[in-house]
A and B are shown apart, each in its own frame.
Chain A
Amino acid sequence: MDALNNLAGGFAHVLGGGAVWHALWATLIGIIIGALPGLTATMGVALLTTLTFGMGPNVAMLVLVCVYVGAIYGGSRSAILLNIPGTPASAASTLDGFPLARQGLAGRAMGISTSGSWLGTLFGTLILALFAPSFGEFALQFGSYEMFWVAMFGIIIAGSLSGGDPLKGYIAGFIGLFVATIGQETNHAYARFAYGNGDLAGGLGLLPVLVGVFGVAEVLSAMRGPAVKAVSSKIDSVIPRLSDVTKYWKTILRSGALGTFIGAMPGLGEDIAAWTSYAAAKRASKEKEKFGKGSIEGLMSAETGESACVPGAIIPVLTLAVPGSAPAAVLMAAMMIHGLNPGPMLAITAPEFIYQIVAMLVIADMVKMFYGLVLVRPLLWILLIPRERLMPIVFVLCTVGAFAITSRLFDIWVMLGAGLVGFILRELRFPMAPLVLGIVLGDLLDKNLLRGLVLSGGDVTPFFTRPISMGLCALTLIAALWSIPSVAGLLRRRKPAEA
């Protein structure tokens, strides 16, 4: 009953003060950002964070949640119509979305995308509302030792799974962690790696680095690659069909659960959620042969999985201060900028905030559904904007985004440097998710490692012997061992033998 009251309170709180207007424009911007190839959800949330500086925390969070939800959904537009995923999360949607469009069923494909995405976000939000408050209370038992392992687990799991090459994932994670150490540390106010430079002593701002890695690097990648050939498509009715939903309800539930679970794992994100849901749907399907040739079930699974991942990725942000995906990492940074302190203490300091986030997600989901029905042709025109005209505008917005938070020209240089390094690392096939997670979790890991050592008088055993610590340490080790091919192969070979 308390939960229902809190939820009603959350909606009442969020819906005041022109919330619908903010939700409408922010979701629209999110969908456009997601639909345009080269602009990602992470970049969208990072750029829009700048716009929210002057807003109250609640309106700011509503705007950013709407951008996040909208961008993940928007990516499917270009996936279906152009065979180009608007965001990495929509790559799986191209497999069946584009073949459907080629068969003259672009409208139906978009209807499936809309219904799958809507249900996915709703499913994930339900899981968030049900489990985040109790998990938040459980996380209150976490001390410095446990939080150290949570951060470590985040880096390892993101490194293992987010890019195909765990070794490069770990390296990216540690580079991110190192970046977070630059500047004054908390115990003695000693400026690490500053070399007498006042700007460096202040540390590298999270937002300029993220805008660089996801904005500038994307602009460079987009301008380097071959030009995108825009293809217009005849569009039939985009109204979702009830039969598509009822026929594939098992797929929707499975993809929703998988998407939410993957979202809740630190640093994995929407692309992995979509591919995993797609693979699971294909494995369980009675129509396997249709996958990749215009399968409604395939498209439904990918869309449901990626959209369920959004609320899933916010669960660890609220309960542990560990982001589940790259856009969630930026969202978490925005929460901190607005004075909301995500993490275990949230259950004590602002328990109502979890329900407000639930309300924001539901509102964003509803607005997304509305746009899914009415915003088809205008989006087609937007998709035809040439990158030569779009990318310089994005670059200008990146510059504003990097500068606005502290009004330092130094931050623009940080953005440029981060963009260049991010681009080079990407070219060398280093995944970006662990890098971002490292930058975001660096402070958490740093503080808790030192605090833990001080509390134990230099004894490291509490890191391994406290019950929850021990469990987290074991999980981290398993995740690390699993990424070693020979160990994983050994475990896989043993399974059939046991069966």
Chain B
Amino acid sequence: MSEVEAESPFDGEKAPASPRADLITAALLFVFGVAIVQQSIAMPRFVEQSGTGLTAPGIVPGFYGVMLALLSVVLGVRAIGRGGWAARGPVAKATGDGRRLGLAALLGVLYAGVLVGRVPFWIASALFVFAFTTAFEWDQGPERRARRMIEAALIGIGTGLGVMLVFEKLFLLRLP
């Protein structure tokens, strides 16, 4: 499939995470799995009610915790085999722009976690859309910036009012 350029779901190995990242993930998942097992064991077993204790709430999550811990060990061993332990193991090339990612995440959390529920939903949404669009279009330079900001404000107001009308008035759903 040398002519295949698009990303196939089968070629997950084509650009794998770095062994170092896999090793750290494995360590975190192992701790997570063990914590699940510990919490599951600490759950009440309701032996008196069930007679056998087979309906204990911790059985199923405990099983998942064991599986996660075991699989993370395999992941860790594999990562070490691929050079994850080495001081300068293979490093996967980072894709995309971390600054843009951080900005998108920050604006998303400010909107959904802070504004929503405290400010009327349509105003919160209008502010968010305006801020998001303006922030990401800022790099396009000062030329026509004022026009882009006016457009962003109009899109924001349109989104806020449109969502309110469609969801609250047309489909009779509650908005935050």
Contact = CB atoms under 8 A, between A and B. Distances in A.
Interface of A: 50-51, 53-54, 85, 88, 91-92, 94-95, 162-165, 167-168, 170-171, 174-175, 177-178, 181, 185, 187-188, 190, 192-193, 216, 219-221, 223-226, 271-272, 275, 279, 291-293, 386, 388-389, 391-393, 395-397, 399-400, 403-404, 407, 409, 412-413, 415-416, 419-420, 427-429, 431, 445-446, 449-450, 453-454, 457-458
B100 A428 contact: no
12 contacts: A51-B167, A92-B8, A187-B57, A188-B57, A190-B46, A223-B136, A275-B10, A395-B112, A400-B163, A404-B167, A413-B112, A427-B17
Nearest to B158: A393
Given A181-B64, A219-B104, A446-B60, A187 B72 contact: no
Given A170-B71, A428-B25, A454-B50, A396 B128 contact: yes
Contact of A223 (B71, B104, B137, B174): B104
Give the residue among B74, B100, B112, B132 with the most A Cβ atoms within 10 A: B112
B72 A389 contact: no
Contacts of A395: 108, 111-112, 128, 132
Contacts of A95: 3-6
Given A187-B55, A392-B128, A409-B176, A219 B137 contact: no
Contacts of B59: 449-450, 453
B152 interface: yes
A188 B17 CA distance: 42
B159 A393 contact: yes
Given A192-B43, A220-B101, A396-B129, A291 B65 contact: no
A313 to B, nearest CB: 15
Interface of B: 1, 3-17, 21-22, 25, 29, 36, 39, 43-44, 46, 49-50, 52, 54-55, 57-61, 63-65, 67-68, 71-72, 74-75, 78, 95-98, 100-101, 103-105, 107-109, 111-113, 116-117, 125, 128-129, 132-133, 136-137, 152, 155-156, 159-160, 163, 166-167, 171-176
Nearest to B59: A450
B61 A193 contact: yes
A167 B43 contact: no
B26 to A, nearest CB: 9
B55 A454 contact: yes
B171 to A, nearest CB: 5
A231 to B, nearest CB: 16
Contacts of B46: 187-188, 190
A499 to B, nearest CB: 24
Contacts of B15: 429
Given A54-B172, A192-B43, A224-B96, A167 B25 contact: no
Nearest to B74: A167
A413 B11 CA distance: 33
A175 B166 CA distance: 36
B6 A165 contact: no
Nearest to A409: B117
Contacts of A224: 95-98, 100-101, 104
B29 A171 contact: yes
Given A403-B175, A420-B105, A177 B64 contact: yes
Contacts of B171: 51, 53-54
A59 to B, nearest CB: 12
Contacts of B68: 171, 174-175, 178
B17 to A, nearest CB: 5
Contacts of A446: 60
A457 B172 contact: no
Nearest to B108: A395
B133 A185 contact: no
Contacts of A429: 12, 15-17
A167 B113 contact: no
Contacts of A51: 166-167, 171, 173
